[in-house]
Amino acid sequence: MTQQASQFFSALPQYPANQSTEQAARRSVKRPVERRPVKRSLGPAATQQPAVDPSCGREAAPPERPAPWQESFANRLFLALSPRVKSPRRGAPSKYLEPFERFDIERPGGRGKLSATWYPAAGRARGAVLLVHPWIHWGQGYFERRGRIGALRTAGYHALTFDLGGFGDSSPMASTFYDRDIEHALNELRTRAGGLPTHLWGVSSGGYWAHPVLSRVAVHGAVFEDVSQHLIEWSGRMAPWGKPCYAFFKYVLADAYRFMDLKRHAPHLGARSVGYIGGQLDRGVLPMETCELAKQAGGRTLLIPEADHLEAIKRGAEEVLAFALETFELAERSDETNSEADIAVA
């Protein structure tokens, strides 16, 4: 670890207990993360009875992908119902973020490309982080502001940003959900990171679509900002005019609806440390839902007062950045502990 990183982590703030959530009281690094089983209803969208772990009352595995025809139809309907975003072609990142490398990630099977940018760590690297942008016209350019990339590099992390399909210079997509693009970017991160720990930091829809990926594959740490439990349910809350379409999605495209339910993915996330960040004034992603996802994932929660959707980083940048770095450090510390235990057993 670099001297800068050591100084940064030694200055990490202690989070005060938030009386509105039980999970926030467990934010201290000194206290181990408690994974508790959660009983939950399968819901009306399930077309068949899934396997259930009798020891804890939850599904024994994350939901399976819908049939290709249903995923394609559901994704086209999802895009039709989504907010219209005109994403301009992106120029080079700001000079203050140099050095960086712009390149393309090729989708398998010749299905287009993803525009990406690699930001090497300052000094000796300790890990690498994939940043997944929200549904906003800047695409990966969203991360050029608010200090996420700078904080990661200073702490010794490489950072990889990319444009999801249809954003920036990335090829559009229509036949599969966005988790496929995140999976391709995560594979690229692993290749460039070598044997270093890998982490993911997703914001809003970027963090949403990362859940189906991380319930299938593992990373060291994961941080999610302003992530809804279900985008169709979020749409019903924020754009009620589309309720007939949402009902069609829920009952006709039932397998796709079930696959998009993060409450079914969160208990199976393949991360050693997970953190959820939200705003206490967010009307679309309710604070209690953020806490519920964290509870099911066995993670921690940070709620920023006076913050609406995508405002946590604006109103509590220092707390958000420290919380994310702390989450990644916890994951790496857990990895070291497991390695020492393996050596002791051997």
**Furthest-apart CA atoms within the chain: distance in Å:** 61
CA–CA separation, 159 vs 138, rounded Å?
Answer: 17
**For each successive 10 residues of the chain (346 residues), what is the average pLDDT?**
46 40 38 37 34 54 96 93 75 85 92 95 96 94 94 98 94 90 97 97 98 97 97 91 93 97 97 97 95 97 96 96 98 72 40
User: Computed from CA positions of residues 91, 97, 99, 103, in that sequence, does the dihedral angle turn out positive or negative?
Assistant: negative
Cβ neighbours of residue 134 under 8 Å, at least 6 residues apart?
A: 142, 203, 204, 205, 206, 226, 310
The three-point CA angle 313-154-333 to 5° equals: 90
pLDDT of residue 336: 66
Structure tokens at 135: 């549904």
Of 321, 319, 302, residue with least CA distance to 17: 302
Cβ neighbours, 10 Å, residue 147: 15
CA–CA separation, 265 vs 157, rounded Å?
Answer: 27
Domains and CATH numbers, the chain: 3-13+61-345 (3.40.50.1820)
User: Computed from CA positions of residues 296, 299, 300, 306, in that sequence, does the dihedral angle turn out positive or negative?
Assistant: negative
Contact in structure between 32 and 182 (CB atoms under 8 Å): no
Give the relative orientation of helices 205-214 and 179-193 as an angle to the nearest 10 degrees. Answer: 70
Cα distances (angstroms) measured from residue 175 to each of 73, 97, 210: 8, 35, 18
Give the relative orientation of helices 68-81 and 231-238 as an angle to the nearest 10 degrees. Answer: 30
CA 321 to chain CA centroid, Å, is 15
Cα distances (angstroms) measured from residue 314 to each of 82, 152, 223, 237, 309: 24, 17, 17, 24, 10
pLDDT of residue 14: 42
One-letter amino acid for residue 223 of the chain: V
Contact in structure between 39 and 319 (CB atoms under 8 Å): no
pLDDT of residue 4: 47
DSSP conformation letters of 94-161: PGGG-S-EEEEEEPGGG--EEEEEEE--SSS--EEEEEE--SSTTGGGGGGSTTHHHHHHHTTEEEEE
Cβ neighbours, 10 Å, residue 28: 12
Strand partners, 292: none
